[in-house]
Amino acid sequence: MARLDGTRSLVTGGTSGIGAAIVMRLREEGAAVVFTGRNVQRGEALATRTGGAFVQADVRDPDAVRVSVSTAVDILGGLDALVVNAGILHEAPLSQTSDGAWDAVVETNLVGPYLYAVACLPELRASGGGSITLISSDAGVWPETQIGAYSVSKRALNWLAQMLAMEAGPHGIRVNAICPGDTAPGMATFVEGRVEPRDTSGWLLPPLGRVGTGADVAGAVAFFVSPDGAFCNGSVLLVDGGMRASLHASTVMAS
């Protein structure tokens, strides 16, 4: 019997990158999955490959959030797990970030996850408990000035996870955050538009000597969603190969 057999899951931002890896891992472990995204072509292609169900939705649209949650519950017959992955990046320090870029980052990376969590809490309570996993970033643990708005939004997302953990825990709902480090091929969704996968050969490597993958993050998600993570609530987990530990020590150890 697969670890997640019977687990009814909703994944946001699931059409590419880390999100697609999460959808694939949950399906491999036996979960029923509905996933959202903005791009219909990528969504339908992934649904065909995985057997998941795709629902088009923009995390910045409150009405789309509510409709996608309702649709997912109808498809799945209830809800046991929410994984919030949708995110957007803006490369600029705060002093060079426009009001529009700030709004786009905060609405996507913080307000959207909040809306999804609040919309899903009644469904999770109705199922007798479950889990919410927020995909944050190592930039939410250690400030990164060159992506200032993104870093701030992810720090706030970590705090949101812990707030929700306190509120939802008594109802048997576990809320945790995962903070990936540099993950190939890098984020594709920017305020300015979608960017094709980039060359990662010049990226600084963590002590483990390699760049992270979507599968690394998906494995952590599967743990939090599964019974193995039954006593994890309010956790903020780095999945970065040791990079943050090295930077805190003012050096990156050679592999």
Alpha helices in the chain (DSSP H): 17-28, 40-50, 62-76, 99-106, 112-126, 148-168, 214-225, 243-248
The DSSP bridge partners found for residue 133 are 83, 176
Residue 204, φ and ψ in degrees, nearest 5:
-65, 130
Contact 86, 59 (CB under 8 A): yes
Radius of gyration of the chain (CA): 17
Pick from 14, 17, 16, 44: nearest CA to 31:
14
CB atoms within 10 A of CB 220: 22
Examine the residue annotation and report whether 150 is marked as an active-site residue of this protein.
yes
How many Å apart are CA 165 and CA 40, to the nearest integer? 33
Q: Which of 130, 150, 225, 243 is catalytic?
A: 150
Catalytic residues: 150
